[in-house]
């Protein structure tokens, strides 16, 4: 979840019912990609996009409705009925309105008026209907009803490919709009140049949530460019090139009935020449269908890491969530490794792919432990990318994308990702990685001076006290990760120092209220305190939701609170509802009592029943969350999907195992949400999950064995999973 800015919504009439059956490309052979519905998450608070992308791709080529607003953070909102064009960069499932780079829009003489003349820039829009729209992994198409043009999109890792089927028209056009902006995004300098009759090159520099974004491109058209006009803002300019804050180009031509025009757009944060190399390497041809087929094969291979057995509904929900796990982090380096770094300089990734879009406050909890199971080679790239960020800035990333540090959210959660990867044997420069972890924790960033001085972040200074309780708890967890890594590397003094810091959560525990409570520099707890209130001391949460944030020491939390109090609070977490007339913050979604599944601090809480001897409550509660907070409809997420975290929770929980502590290599067991699954592990082994008596209402475990031996306790280790074998569940009927 991400801190949001409230943006006024512009509402428009919807030409279709939300009950309209959404369409998607389905393979008759029932490939795994046929179960993925990219429209899930495009309605409600999910903030996902339906466009074309390959696993971890640099290009996210997707339609933009052209309207600002919280619901349109990803550029597209299911309830809208307009399309302003197709841009090549999108964030998935966040609360950050940024990117939307390099907009392309086809239109013709049927277009008469700007649908939104009160907006700053003139721009053609088209109406569309979900009845004439399709999406599958790596492919998107829509009929633009205002022009009669059919638009189709696909992508390689670094190249977006468009295919437009035009009707007969003497005034067909293609608009390339670099001044186009949405939500937080604003161009700072843009450039367009007609290089030859088939090629336009340029760049778009912008700022928004990420302050220094640079996108260079090479655009090639299959149809020779005979008539082109360049614009600086709305002013037409002569010549073959234009540079300004806002530029655009309008290509005009006569189209024949069903004439197809293809466009290829290669991107690079490094240079125009970098984009050219990317296109030459990935898409030198004009075979659109070949790119679609290649993208589908890449997704089929990626989704095949898990083969599940269940109903069509279960497969749609599961594989769509699995699909969303692999949209980010996104590729940032060119085919030869060059990229724009967080220091504003150009760097070359050697021996790894530089990745960006790390929503770490969200994804360290489930998505990253999941990646260690199924894509450890990508985890190597992730850790190497963290270390390159450290080399460029002196700190590990907090929330990085587009070659920038946004410093959004809290914690230095690159640390648990690195520690988890290290203990699972994923290749890295361990000494360098530890150096980066320690340097980040010992820095003076993000209120750390007070944290080091007091053992907690005090509330006195309003600036530093912002989210003070949450920061203290998040930092203590990260410090535990550093301590464990220090111990493994033989760094005794550091182990003792960071182990002490890992206990800092105790400094904010108030035995009178039995909650973590804001505390001043003089040690006094804040006087006014209501646990369910949302205040500046808790990050997008309240004291109920952050009470459980001691993932590294749940036994210590139980001992500190007392087992009976802990158990009672855990029950209350799922039964203590706010009054119906209370207005909750925008990030408090998926509410079950005080539990907020739409926001990440709650994600491990249901599994804590296992640690107080009440596993049946964990099993029924996890099942309740799965069945109430996820669906196969466009509003199938109860909150922001958050770069794979909401999806990874569903995937792991459906398999019946979850990382309560994301860095200890232990998965806590619950009943699976399917009759069976096979993890096709990257080491060539298979780990099978079998569930007898699976059915609606059957959530309680009667028996569980690992390779035929009764499982001792309700945990299984990462090493046991990676060794292959069978985890067998018998559920009570």
| Domains, the chain | 32-303 (2.70.98.10), 367-443 (1.20.1050.60), 447-525 (1.20.1610.10)
Answer yes or no: are the C-beta atoms of 155 and 61 closer than 8 Å: yes
What's the token pair of residue 34? 């046929």
**Predicted local distance difference test score (pLDDT) of residue 21:** 37
Residue 20 vs residue 500, higher pLDDT: 500
Residue 414 DSSP one-character state = H
User: Is the model's pLDDT at 106 over the cut of 90?
Assistant: yes
So what's the pLDDT on residue 228? 98
Q: For residue 571, count other CB atoms closer than 10 A to its CB.
A: 14
Distance set, CA 73 to CA 45, 127, 202, 377 (Å): 10, 20, 25, 30
pLDDT at residue 46 tops 60: yes
Given this model, what pLDDT does residue 111 score?
A: 78
Rounded Cα distance between 149 and 533, Å, is: 52
623 pLDDT higher than 80: yes
The dihedral through the CA atoms of 712, 713, 716, 717 has a sign that is negative
Does residue 537 have a pLDDT over 90?
yes
Average pLDDT for residues 498-519, to the nearest whole number? 98
Token pair listed for 9 = 């919504």
Mean pLDDT of 348-371: 98
Neighbours of 68 (CB within 10 A): 19
Q: What percent of the chain has pLDDT over 70?
A: 94
Which tens digits make up the pLDDT trace of 565-608?
A: 999 999 999 999 999 888 899 999 999 999 999 999 999 999 99
Pairing of strands 126-127, 725-731: unpaired
Dihedral pair phi/psi, residue 337, rounded to 5°: 95, -10
**CB 383, CB 418: distance < 8 Å:** yes
Flag whether pLDDT at 217 surpasses 50.
Answer: yes
Is the model's pLDDT at 309 over the cut of 80?
Answer: yes
Euclidean distance between CA atoms 497 and 485, whole angstroms: 12
Average pLDDT over residues 53-57: 98
Calculate mean pLDDT across residues 247-255: 98
pLDDT, position 114: 63
What whole-number distance in Å separates Cα of residue 700 and Cα of residue 619?
6
DSSP result, 204-268: EEEESSSS-EEEEEEEEESS---EEEEEETTEEE-SSEEEESSEEEEEEEEE-TTEEEEEEEEEE
pLDDT beyond 50 at 182: yes
pLDDT (0 to 100) of residue 696:
86
pLDDT beyond 50 at 28: no
Torsion of CA 514, 518, 524, 529, to 10 degrees: -60
Q: How far, in Å, are 386, 404, 728 from residue 392 at the CA level?
A: 10, 11, 48
Find the mean pLDDT for residues 122-126.
Answer: 84
| pLDDT surpasses 90 at 355 | yes
Judged against a pLDDT cut of 90, whether residue 342 lies above it is answered with: yes
Say if residue 3's pLDDT is above 80. Answer: no
Which whole number is the average pLDDT over 690-696?
95
d(CA 18, CA 377) in angstroms, rounded, equals 41
How does residue 137 score in pLDDT terms, banded at 50, 70 and 90? very high
- In the prediction, which pLDDT does 314 show? 98
Share of the chain above pLDDT 90, in %: 91
Least Cα distance to 369 among 687, 664, 688, 55 occurs for: 664
Q: What is the pLDDT of residue 405?
A: 97
Q: How buried is 251 (Cβ within 10 angstroms: 0-12 exposed, 13-18 middle, 19+ buried)?
A: buried
Locate 529 and state its tokens: 């305190």
| Model pLDDT, residue 123 | 78
8 Å CB contact between 668 and 705: no
Q: What is the pLDDT of residues 441-466, one digit of tens each?
A: 999 999 999 999 999 999 875 655 68
What's the pLDDT at 243? 98
Tokens 């249901």 -> residue: 606
Say yes or no to pLDDT of 48 above 50.
yes
Query: Which tokens go with 611?
Result: 């640690």
CB atoms within 10 A of CB 374: 20
| Confidence bin at 118 (pLDDT 50/70/90) | low
Q: Is the pLDDT of residue 311 over 80?
A: yes
Rounded average pLDDT over 271-288: 98
Mean pLDDT of all residues belonging to the chain: 94
Q: Phi first, then psi: what are they for 155, rounded to 5°? A: -160, 150
Q: If we measure between CA atoms, which residue out of 245, 241, 247 comes closest to residue 175?
A: 247
pLDDT at 541 over 80: yes
């Amino acid at each position: 979840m991400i801190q949001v800015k409230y943006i006024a919504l512009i509402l428009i009439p919807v030409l279709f019912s939300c009950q309209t059956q959404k369409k998607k490309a389905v393979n008759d052979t029932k490939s795994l990609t046929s179960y993925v519905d990219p429209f899930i998450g495009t309605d409600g608070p999910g903030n996902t996009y339906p466009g074309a992308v390959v696993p971890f791709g640099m290009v996210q080529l997707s339609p933009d409705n052209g309207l600002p607003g919280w619901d349109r953070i990803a550029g597209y909102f299911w309830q809208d009925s307009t399309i302003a064009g197709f841009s090549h960069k999108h964030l998935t499932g966040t609360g950050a309105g940024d990117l939307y780079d390099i907009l392309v829009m086809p239109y013709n003489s049927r277009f008469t008026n700007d649908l939104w003349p009160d907006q700053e820039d003139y721009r053609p829009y088209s109406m569309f209907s979900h009845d004439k729209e399709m999406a599958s992994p790596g492919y998107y198409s829509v009929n633009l009803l205002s022009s009669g043009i059919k638009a189709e999109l696909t992508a390689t890792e670094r190249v977006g490919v468009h295919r437009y089927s035009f009707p007969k028209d003497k005034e067909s056009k293609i608009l390339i709009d670099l001044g186009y902006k949405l939500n937080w995004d604003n161009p700072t300098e843009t450039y367009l140049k007609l290089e030859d009759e088939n090629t336009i090159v340029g760049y778009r520099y912008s700022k928004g949530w990420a302050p220094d974004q640079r996108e260079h491109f090479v655009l090639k058209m299959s149809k020779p460019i005979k008539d082109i006009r360049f614009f600086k803002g709305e002013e037409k300019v002569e010549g073959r090139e234009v540079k300004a804050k806002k530029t655009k180009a309008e290509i005009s031509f006569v189209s024949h009935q069903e004439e197809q025009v293809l466009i290829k757009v290669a991107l690079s944060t490094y240079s125009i020449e970098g984009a050219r190399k990317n296109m030459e390497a990935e898409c030198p041809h004009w075979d659109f269908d070949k790119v679609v087929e290649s993208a589908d094969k890449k997704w089929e291979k990626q989704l095949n890491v898990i083969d599940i057995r269940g109903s069509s509904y279960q497969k749609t929900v599961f594989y769509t969530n699995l699909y969303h796990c692999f949209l980010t982090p996104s590729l940032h380096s060119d085919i030869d490794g060059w990229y724009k770094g967080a220091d504003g300089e150009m760097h070359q990734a050697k021996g790894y792919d530089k990745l960006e879009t790390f929503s770490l406050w969200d994804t360290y909890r489930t998505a990253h432990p999941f990646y260690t199971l199924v894509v450890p080679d990508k985890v190597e790239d992730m850790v190497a990318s963290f270390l390159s960020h450290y080399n460029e800035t002196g700190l590990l990333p907090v929330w990085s994308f587009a070659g920038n540090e946004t410093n959004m959210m809290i914690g230095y959660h690159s640390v648990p990702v690195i520690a988890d990867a290290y203990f699972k044997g994923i290749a890295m420069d361990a000494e360098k990685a530890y150096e980066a972890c320690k340097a980040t924790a010992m820095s003076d960033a993000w209120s750390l001076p007070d944290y080091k001085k007091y053992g907690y972040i005090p509330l006195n200074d309003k600036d530093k006290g912002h989210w003070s309780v949450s920061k203290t708890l998040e930092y203590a967890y990260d410090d535990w990760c550093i301590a464990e890594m220090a111990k493994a590397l033989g760094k005794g003094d550091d182990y003792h120092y960071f182990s002490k810091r890992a206990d800092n959560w105790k400094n904010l525990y108030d035995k009178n209220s039995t909650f973590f409570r804001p505390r001043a520099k003089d040690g006094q707890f804040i006087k006014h305190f209501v646990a369910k209130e949302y205040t500046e001391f808790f990050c997008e949460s309240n004291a109920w939701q952050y009470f459980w944030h001691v993932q590294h020491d749940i036994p210590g939390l139980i001992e500190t609170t007392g087992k009976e109090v802990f158990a009672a609070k855990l029950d209350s977490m799922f039964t203590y509802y706010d009054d119906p007339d209370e207005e909750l913050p925008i990030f408090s979604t998926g509410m079950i009592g005080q539990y907020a599944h739409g926001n990440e601090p709650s994600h491990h809480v249901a599994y804590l029943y296992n640690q107080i001897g009440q596993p049946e409550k964990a099993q029924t509660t996890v099942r309740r969350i799965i069945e109430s907070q996820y669906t196969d409809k466009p509003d199938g997420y109860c909150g922001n999907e958050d770069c794979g975290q909401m999806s990874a929770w569903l995937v792991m929980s459906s398999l019946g195992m979850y990382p309560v502590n994301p860095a200890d290599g232990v998965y806590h067991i619950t009943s699976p949400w399917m009759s069976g699954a096979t993890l096709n592990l990257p080491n060539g082994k298979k780990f099978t999950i079998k569930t007898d008596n699976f059915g609606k209402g059957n959530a309680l475990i009667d028996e569980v064995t690992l390779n035929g031996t009764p499982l001792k306790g309700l945990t299984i280790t990462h090493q046991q999973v990676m060794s292959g074998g069978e985890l067998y569940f018998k559920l009570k009927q």
